[in-house]
A = this chain, B = another copy of it.
């Protein structure tokens, strides 16, 4: 498995982030609009043609495979294709993960694209986000891998603004146990506990500031 070194300054990372963030946000907006639009079929066909033309332009120069996982010499992680936090990935709710005293915390808003039961977040989306957050909490010395994770759904999670938290409860050798929750304004809706494994290659390596999931 290969991590790619992007030999650029921290300022250049920030500048590129500012270029891609509004583009990705606009694609997120498009995903939502395609779910919720009520325009007629001619307008839908027209939209499809215009989107296809943009795709062709963007693909005129593109990398061969997926984005991969990159980091700078200063160990800033650039998991910009990542399914949960990718700056260039419109599927990702693009969690902004904050490091707090006892672990990590993120506040985010989930709209129509994350729906399962009517008006509620898909249980699988809760699982995806918690897997990432717990992995992130466990990854303070380099990216960890999920060994096992158990999710417990206490009640439905409504679409809207939510908070997720994760923290490490135990550490033995390369094994870490992490716990976490998703909450709405009324309290916890879903909780998780998982076992995360630090790859042998990562022990004593640089503390890159991300989790690759």
Binding site for B on A (CB under 8 A): 1-4, 19-20, 22-24, 26-27, 29-31, 33-39, 41, 43-48, 50-55, 57-63, 65-69, 80-84, 86, 88-91, 111-120, 122-125, 127-132, 135, 143, 145-153, 156, 159, 212-213
Contacts and interface: CB of A to CB of B under 8 A. Distances in A.
Nearest to A63: B36
Contacts of A135: 123
Contacts of A55: 26, 29-30, 33
B44 A117 contact: no
Contacts of A37: 58-59, 61-62
Contacts of A53: 50
A148 B148 contact: no
Contact of A148 (B20, B50, B153): B153
- A35, A39, A117: residue with the most chain B Cβ atoms closer than 10 Å: A35
A43 B87 CA distance: 18
B54 A50 contact: yes
Given A50-B54, A124-B128, A39 B66 contact: no
21 contacts: A1-B119, A19-B41, A20-B34, A24-B34, A29-B52, A37-B59, A39-B58, A47-B57, A66-B111, A66-B112, A84-B124, A89-B113, A122-B132, A122-B213, A123-B132, A127-B128, A131-B151, A146-B153, A147-B153, A148-B153, A149-B150
Contacts of A123: 131-132, 135, 145-146, 149, 213
Contacts of A89: 31, 34-35, 113
Contacts of A146: 123, 151, 153
B23 A115 contact: no
